Amino acid sequence: MENTRELQVVSDHLVEALEAFLEKPPEGVSDTIIKAFSDAVEAKGKALPPQIFYEAVEQSSTAISITDSFADILYTNREFEKVTGYSCEEIIGKNESILSYKTTSKLIYETLWARLNQQKPWSGTLVNRRKDGTRYLADLTIAPVQNVAGKTTHYLGIHKDVTEVHQLEQKVLNQKNLIESVVDAAPVITVLLDSEEKIILDNMEYKKLSTDMNIKEPVKYFLAAFKESLGLRFDGLLNIGEGHEIQEVNLDRGITIQPRCFNCSITWFKEIDEHSDSFFENETKTYMLLVANEITALKKQHEEVRMNALRALLAEEESIQNVREALNGSIYQLQGPINLISAVTSMLERKSEQEGENSAIITALKQALTAGHQAINTLQACIPETIDEPFDLVNLNMLIREVMTILTERMLKLGVIVEWDPAPMLPSILGKEKKLRSMIKHLLDNSLDEFEENKSGTGTLLIKTEFSDKQLNISIADNGTGIPEKLHRKVFEPFYSRKGVISGKTGMGLSIVSDVVNEHSGSINIDKQYLNGCKILVQLPVFQKNN
């Protein structure tokens, strides 16, 4: 009978405590625990024997204790002994503080009692001490139990040993911090993106590049280079979530910011989704890891060697071009008199047939005509042969900067101010590099010739590139005297020059430019709306690769 009464008392205490607990379950308590306690209370309400209710709580996988209003322990279940090492017989009558350990902040206990004194439950994590002295982390919930008068008579304590969970979380956090520290300290640009190209993680080198180049998100230019290179393969590799690609990328922000060159690699990988929806289906997420190693210094060394060779090559090409233009000019000049002699000869021959005269003159004219044709043939034979070059991928920003570098000395001598506004990432076009470089140089030389001839004021050159609607646009504007609208077409004709014979120019510059643009299926125009000088607009198509 005595045991039955004890069970009844414990059972009643548990019911009161659990009912109070279930009225306002503390945050963080799992639905499973709440359901188990609710079922136990409901079973008690159905007049189940106290022994069944008692055993249900005894066999709970959560440590449970009940104390009086002074926190002296009245009851503990079996799990409590497993967690703390104290058996029910050893712990009954002892104060709950027996589990406390000194590393738990005094402020936490003050907050705990402040909540309980307000008759509100408290939840938190404490460092507790087992019977053998070892420490563990207790995820604890304490709920006050009130009588009908509203006075707190007992406290229900529910706690779990979360030491291993904490250690695992701390290991993950430490590994995360370690990885982020290594990535942040890495001397290469590192960016992690999701499948929608949103940045998940970046490092200091990436942030530094963004500041130095005055670009909000440089990664979009890196990705643009990969997409241009890979074409449709890019989306395919993204969907598969595998693969490794390498690409050289040049970032150019104009004359005031030095261009930067990078060797970039991009790797796709998959991660299992951590959300509960993916527990059985193993859904995955695809990420992109972009690493960019700067090779600007190395490229600069190679560039210096290349530029010296390029200067020599351009000088030779210009010399050959001058010879070619001079010979073509001579042929052009000779062709007029020869045509006139041919016309006069034909006219005299018709008259001689009628009157029988002028045979000596006709003979002399024919000899002059023959000599003239021989001279033209000789000049044509002397014209240097034009060696055709194959079409290849060409970076127009790089060509423009090369030409500006070659013309730097002349620009400085003339005191020309250059404003260079390139598109940070310009798609490569399929073209003939030498001819396109020659086209740019002719256009810039044309403006510099204008400044040299009209020396009033400071010369300004505005050079801009941009890409839109599959067209690569180049504009070169100067603040010279401009070209009258009636001559906008005339200036592109061979041998036409507004500078006159004194200048020594053959008038082939813009004609050559027009031929190069036409060869690349582009267009060239003089902007009629530009009133501050002359503005040349060149449009070249960009043919996308479909891999």
Distance, in Å, from the CA atom of 13 to the CA atom of 75, rounded to the nearest integer, reads: 9
The ranges assigned to domains in the chain are 2-160, 186-290, 295-386, 388-547
Instruction: Give the pLDDT score at 425.
Output: 76
Average pLDDT over residues 140-150: 87
> Shortest CA distance to 131 belongs to which of 181, 76, 81?
81
What is the mean pLDDT of the segment spanning 484-508?
A: 69
Q: Which CATH number fits domain 2-160: 3.50.30.30, 3.30.365.10, 3.30.450.20, 3.20.20.140?
A: 3.30.450.20
Predicted pLDDT at 270: 79
Percent share of the chain, pLDDT over 90: 28
Confidence of residue 402 (pLDDT cuts 50, 70, 90): confident
pLDDT at 501: 41
Query: What residues contact residue 524 under an 8 Å CB cut-off, 6+ apart?
Result: 492, 513, 514, 517, 536, 537, 538, 539
> Of the ranges 20-24, 99-103, 261-265, 458-462, which one carries the lowest mean pLDDT score?
20-24
Which range is least confidently modeled, 11-15, 143-147, 177-181, 350-354?
Answer: 11-15
Please give the Cα distance from 156 to 60 (Å, whole number): 14
Count of CB atoms within 10 A of residue 359's CB? Answer: 11
Q: What is the arithmetic mean of pLDDT over 169-193?
A: 88
What's the pLDDT at 95?
93
Domain 2-160 identical in fold to domain 388-547: no
pLDDT exceeds cutoff 70 at 505? no
Whole-angstrom distance, CA of residue 429 vs CA of residue 507 = 28
Average pLDDT over residues 331-336: 78
- What pLDDT sits at residue 1? 39
The model's confidence at residue 251, banded by pLDDT at 50, 70 and 90, is: confident
pLDDT bracket for residue 138 (50, 70, 90)? very high
Q: Identify which has the larger pLDDT, 329 or 260.
A: 260
3-state SS of 439-492 is: HHHHHHHHHHHHHHHCCCCCCEEEEEEEEECCEEEEEEEECCCCCCHHHCCHHH
The pLDDT of 68-80, averaged and rounded, is 92
Strand-strand pairing, 189-194 and 199-202 = antiparallel
Which residues have CB under 8 Å from 136's CB, separation 6+?
Answer: 83, 127, 128, 130, 161, 163
- The reported pLDDT for the residue numbered 318 is 72
Integer CA distances (angstroms), 38 to 72, 74, 128, 546, in order: 25, 22, 28, 64
Q: What is the pLDDT of residue 83?
A: 93
Res. 508: pLDDT tops 70? no
Lowest pLDDT segment from 4-8, 179-183, 369-373, 508-512: 4-8
Token pair 């970039």 is found at 264
Statement: residue 514 has pLDDT above 80? yes
Tens-digit pLDDT profile for residues 417-448: 999 999 877 888 999 998 899 899 889 988 99
What number is the average pLDDT over the span 189-203? 90
| Average pLDDT score over residue span 67-95 | 92
pLDDT band at 473 (very low <50, low <70, confident <90, very high): very high
* pTM: predicted TM-score of the whole model, two decimal places: 0.46
SS3 126: strand
Checking if the pLDDT of 135 tops 80, the result is yes
275, 449 contact by CB (below 8 A): no
Give the N- to C-terminal CA distance of the chain in Å, as an integer.
Answer: 88
Q: What is the pLDDT of residue 341?
A: 82
Q: What is the CATH number of domain 186-290?
A: 3.30.450
Q: Is residue 31 scored above 80 in pLDDT?
A: no
What pLDDT is stored for residue 10 in this prediction? 56
Helix (H, G, I), strand (E, B), or coil: what is residue 428? coil
What is the reported pLDDT for 311? Answer: 75
How many beta carbons lie within 10 A of that of residue 177, not counting itself? 10
User: 121 exposed, middle or buried (CB, 10 Å; 0-12, 13-18, 19+)?
Assistant: buried
- Considering only 17-31, 267-281, 306-320, 360-374, which range has the smallest mean pLDDT? 17-31
Is the predicted pLDDT of residue 469 greater than 90, yes or no? no
Q: What is the distance between the alpha carbons of residues 484 and 490, in angstroms, rounded to a whole number? A: 10
Q: Is 425 left (phi over 0), alpha (psi -120 to 50) or beta?
A: beta
Q: Is the dihedral of CA 75, 78, 83, 86 positive or negative?
A: positive
Q: Which of 107-116, 329-338, 354-363, 405-414 has the lowest mean pLDDT?
A: 354-363
Q: Hey, what CATH class is 388-547 in?
A: alpha beta
pLDDT of residue 249: 83
**Spatial separation of the C-alpha atoms in residues 105 and 86, rounded to whole Å:** 24
Q: How far apart are CA 73 and CA 159, in angstroms?
A: 14
Confidence of residue 79 (pLDDT cuts 50, 70, 90): very high
pLDDT-derived band of residue 20, with 50, 70 and 90 as boundaries? low
Of the candidates 52, 48, 45, the one whose C-alpha atom is nearest the C-alpha of residue 22 is 45
pLDDT for the residue 266: 87
Q: What is the pLDDT of residues 311-326, one digit of tens each?
A: 777 777 777 767 776 7
